[in-house]
Amino acid sequence: MKAMLLSKLCNLAEEQSPLVLTELPDPVPAAGEILVRVSACGVCHTELDEIEGRTPPPRLPIVLGHQVVGQVAAHGPGADTFASGTRVGVAWIYSACGKCKFCLSGNENLCPDFKATGRDVNGGYAEYMTVPEGFAYPIPAAFSDVEAAPLLCAGAIGYRSLRLTGLQDGQNLGLVGFGASAHLVLKMVRHRYPHAAVFVFARSAQERAFAGELGAVWAGDTTDAPPVKLDCMIDTTPVWTPIVEALRHLAPGGRLVINAIRKEEFDKEALLRLDYPLHLWMEKEIKSVANVSRRDVAEFLSLAAEMFIRPEVQLFPLEEANTALLELKMRKIRGAKVLKIG
């Protein structure tokens, strides 16, 4: 099979083609696993974190990619949930132990044995991949393959983030950064909370204009002040400065949810500007999002189909994965980037 293989960690600003098109043996599903013939795979900022070493794979080489859509091509022993040809999706959560207190409570995202697709095991930047059948999801007929791919991470993690904010209809929500996940959150809010107002903070004028097209009532730079205080906010940026800026805009009792697996270090000195009375007093909260659970993925796919949520998508062939990643690094973003495979 063809795959885009990562063999070494590097800085994308210096090495602009970290992935190499390689021929690999087709994977063989083990007991309880299915083989997926990949048709589409979303491109996520987490892949930048993997390549640049902020959340490095435990072994190299590795095939990245964790927003995977394809068809069931073969079954390992005991795998009988999905018929051959069934369209399925694979998300960031590849497996968990199933026995710890977190797994037993439905919070596999916190499992100490959590394994991530495209980091701990080979992912979807390839023509085939395997996955435990209990961690694959049927794709609603409402979506094409390329529309479904971003829903599996950008959508699911956005759904979890929105749930953790505790947003109520009629409240004000801030979105800090406006990439794949945030644009899906805005679409969700417009459907589920028709009286809530969404305020967007983004460095790019194009992203701010896009937010306005999708229904944001206000869009400004990450250092701008919105016209009102916000009840809750979701940060999707890879850096620290927007966190400090966002805390200034929370109303008393407000909550900031940080939707990021890692933060880059270059602006860490921004934390030195943290001022308790200004940023944290009046019972403001900060909450992080760690991975996703199976519940998040399954519920969001169903919800997205019900609400007819469609991501904005930019397509790239598998061979141009490096181009898609570099554009993501350079913040050339409108919606989600997806690799079309096969």
Phi-psi sector, 145: left (phi>0), alpha (psi -120 to 50), beta: alpha
* Cα 210 from Cα 212, distance rounded (Å): 5
3-state secondary structure of 269: helix
Give pLDDT, residue 55: 93
Q: What is the pLDDT of residues 158-211, one digit of tens each?
A: 999 999 999 999 999 999 999 889 999 999 999 999 999 999 999 999 999 999
Give pLDDT, residue 311: 87
Give pLDDT, residue 335: 80
3-state secondary structure of 41: strand
* DSSP 8-class letter at 174: E
Q: What is the pLDDT of residues 25-52, one digit of tens each?
A: 999 999 999 999 999 999 999 999 999 9
Give pLDDT, residue 150: 94
- Type of residue numbered 32: G
> Domain-by-domain residue ranges, the chain?
2-152+292-340, 156-288
Q: Given 3.40.630.30, 3.90.180.10, 2.40.50.140, 2.170.120.12, which CATH number is that of 2-152+292-340?
A: 3.90.180.10
Give pLDDT, residue 240: 92
Q: What is the pLDDT of residues 160-172, one digit of tens each?
A: 999 999 999 999 9
- Checking if the pLDDT of 333 tops 80, the result is no
User: Mean pLDDT in the chain?
Assistant: 95
Among candidates 238, 314, 325, 336, which has minimal Cα distance to 17?
A: 325
Going from the C-alpha of 143 to that of each of 87, 150, 286, the distances in angstroms are 11, 11, 34
> What is the mean predicted confidence (pLDDT) over 129-133?
98
Give the tokens for residue 326.
């570099």
- In percent, the amount of the chain with pLDDT more than 70 equals 100
> Are 64 and 4 a contacting pair, CB within 8 Å?
yes
pLDDT-derived band at 307, boundaries 50, 70, 90: confident
pLDDT-derived band at 284, boundaries 50, 70, 90: very high
> Are 39 and 32 a contacting pair, CB within 8 Å?
no
Q: What is the pLDDT of residues 75-113, one digit of tens each?
A: 999 999 999 999 999 999 999 999 999 999 999 999 999
Which superfamily does CATH assign the domain made up of 156-288 to? NAD(P)-binding Rossmann-like Domain (3.40.50.720)
Among candidates 118, 75, 77, which has minimal Cα distance to 95?
A: 118
Give pLDDT, residue 238: 86
Give pLDDT, residue 205: 93
Respond yes or no on whether the N-terminal peptide bond of residue 140 is cis (omega within 30° of 0): no
The per-type count for the chain, helices as H runs and strands as E runs, is 9, 18
> What is the mean predicted confidence (pLDDT) over 129-149?
97
